[in-house]
């Protein structure tokens, strides 16, 4: 072959991004396939290519009865091999180049699951959106898209790689806009302290398109993790919010103490007390009455995100609810159960400590008597006070009558003396 073939191989390798060794291997395979189709071809043969001189040779060996090669190598290159090889190898060479390109593209993205890429929106429909990443295209399924987020054609978009598949047509890259890992990668791009490992994102909970909560911790006591993520006047977190099309982000400090962590996770609500049950994995949170709706959030969003981020099942109660439950627990309730009497078919109360069964009518009658007794107790003090008032009035009347009688007797005595 001409020495110009050498320069052609180098130009093709640079254009396609394929190594020269891969191209020579593809050419050797194509020539070997072409040789075996020629009449009188050896059964055990192979092609060698000297890249410096571009000298192509076909070598062969004899084989024994068991199919093993024996004897010395021999040169079996046909005289017209160059012309025949050029015609046959062209199609095989093109196919091998395409396969090599597909392998290179796959290897480029095979180990990048969990990484973030920037693409240009090419096509969008009800099933998926295609992103142009340069040499390959990424697939953004409808399930991985943020609700109510409308992709605009030719707009740049950052996405999170969730899977890289190897197919016959090349690598298929599946990306996501809803994965919590997208939040972590975006903060790594905007916050140098996270990229350097000084600040870590300990946990993340997200409802795509609405709200996200992240807990951050610092490996350096002199670095404020929340301040590092927020940035000067909120510049850093604002860049992440803009990329997420206005999704709200709550940044809270991480704590090893479960009570403190749950309390901070429910911010911006103020918490009075947190009671943690480590065996059940739950936490009871007591908040002021006016903070109850804020702690729960719209449709339970704040409490739901806090539970996901902390890993605890959170039950939020107001101070009034806690007081009512405490008062309810102090009531002495009857212990037993309602059962059906097999003979009469009526419901009867069966005390837990044993004793006679009580029918429903007797139960209602006893309840009525108890209520009347309570009413009577409430009335008795009033009747007692009324009777005391009446006795006081009677004593006053008697005193007044006695006084008036004495005055009358004195007047009679005075009139008799004057007469």
Q: What's the pLDDT tens digit per position in 308-352?
A: 999 999 999 999 998 988 888 777 666 778 788 777 778 877 777
**Of 183 and 355, which is predicted with more confidence?**
183
Local confidence band at 382 (pLDDT 50, 70, 90 cut-offs): very low
Domain boundary among 88, 109, 130: 109
Instruction: Give yes or no: residues 115 and 100 share one domain.
Output: no
pLDDT surpasses 70 at 384: no
List the CATH number of the domain containing 286.
3.30.300.20
Instruction: Give yes or no: residues 103 and 132 share one domain.
Output: no
Q: For every residue of 174-242, which 3-state class applies, written as one string? A: EEECCCHHHHHHHHHHHCHHHHHCCEEEEEEEEECCCEEEEEEEECCCCCCHHHHHHCHHHHHHHHHHH
Cβ neighbours around 129 below 10 Å, total: 23
Mean pLDDT of the chain: 81
pTM over 0.75: no
Question: CA-CA distance, 144 to 261, in Å (whole number)?
Answer: 30
Judge whether 361 lies within some domain: no
pLDDT of res. 383: 45
- pLDDT single digits (tens) 127-151: 888 999 888 889 999 889 998 888 7
pLDDT of res. 385: 47
Judge whether 374 lies within some domain: no
Q: Structurally, how many domains does the chain consist of?
A: 3
Domain boundary among 280, 314, 333: 333
Question: CA-CA distance, 337 to 357, in Å (whole number)?
Answer: 10
- pLDDT single digits (tens) 99-121: 777 888 888 888 888 899 999 99
Instruction: Give yes or no: residues 20 and 115 share one domain.
Output: no
Domain boundary among 84, 109, 134: 109
Q: For every residue of 76-92, which 3-state class applies, written as one string? A: CCCCCHHHHHHHHHHHH
List the CATH number of the domain containing 11.
3.30.1480.10
Domain hosting 317: range is 265-333
Judge whether 132 lies within some domain: yes
Instruction: Give yes or no: residues 290 and 314 share one domain.
Output: yes
Instruction: Give yes or no: residues 92 and 134 share one domain.
Output: no
pLDDT of res. 14: 78
Local confidence band at 404 (pLDDT 50, 70, 90 cut-offs): low
Instruction: Give yes or no: residues 12 and 44 share one domain.
Output: yes
């Amino acid at each position: 072959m001409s020495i110009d073939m050498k320069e052609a191989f180098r130009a093709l390798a640079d254009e396609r991004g394929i190594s020269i060794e891969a191209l020579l291997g593809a050419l050797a395979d194509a020539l070997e396939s072409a040789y075996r189709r020629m009449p009188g071809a050896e059964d055990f043969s192979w092609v060698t290519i000297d890249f410096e001189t571009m000298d192509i040779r076909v070598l062969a060996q004899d084989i024994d009865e068991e199919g093993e090669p024996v004897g010395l190598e021999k040169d079996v290159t046909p005289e017209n091999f160059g012309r025949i090889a050029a015609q046959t190898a062209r199609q095989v060479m093109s196919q091998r180049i395409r396969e090599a390109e597909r392998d290179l593209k796959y290897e480029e993205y095979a180990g990048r699951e969990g990484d973030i890429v920037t693409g240009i929106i090419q096509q969008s429909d009800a099933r998926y959106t295609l992103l142009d990443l340069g040499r390959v295209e990424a697939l953004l399924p409808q399930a991985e898209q943020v609700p109510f987020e409308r992709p605009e054609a030719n707009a740049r978009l950052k996405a999170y790689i969730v899977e890289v598949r190897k197919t016959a047509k090349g690598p298929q890259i599946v990306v996501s806009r809803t994965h919590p890992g997208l939040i972590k990668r975006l903060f790594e791009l905007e916050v140098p302290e996270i990229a350097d490992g000084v600040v870590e994102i300990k946990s993340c909970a997200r409802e795509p398109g609405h709200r996200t909560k992240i807990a951050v911790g610092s490996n350096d006591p002199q670095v404020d993790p929340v301040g590092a993520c927020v940035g000067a006047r909120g510049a850093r977190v604002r860049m992440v919010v803009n990329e997420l099309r206005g999704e709200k982000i709550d940044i809270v400090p991480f704590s090893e103490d479960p009570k403190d962590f749950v309390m901070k996770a429910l911010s911006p609500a103020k918490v009075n007390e947190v009671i943690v049950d480590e065996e059940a994995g739950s936490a009871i949170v007591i908040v002021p009455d006016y903070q109850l709706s804020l702690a729960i959030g719209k449709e339970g969003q704040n409490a739901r995100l806090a539970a996901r981020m902390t890993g605890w099942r959170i039950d939020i109660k107001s101070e009034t609810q806690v007081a009512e439950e405490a008062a309810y627990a102090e009531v002495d309730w009857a212990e037993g159960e309602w059962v059906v009497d097999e003979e009469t078919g009526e419901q009867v109360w069966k005390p837990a400590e044993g004793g006679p069964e009580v029918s429903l009518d007797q139960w209602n009658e006893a309840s009525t008597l108890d209520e009347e007794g309570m009413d009577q107790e409430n009335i008795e003090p009033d009747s007692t006070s009324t009777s005391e008032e009446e006795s006081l009035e009677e004593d006053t009347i008697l005193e007044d009558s006695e006084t008036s009688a004495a005055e009358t007797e004195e007047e009679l005595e005075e009139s008799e003396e004057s007469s």
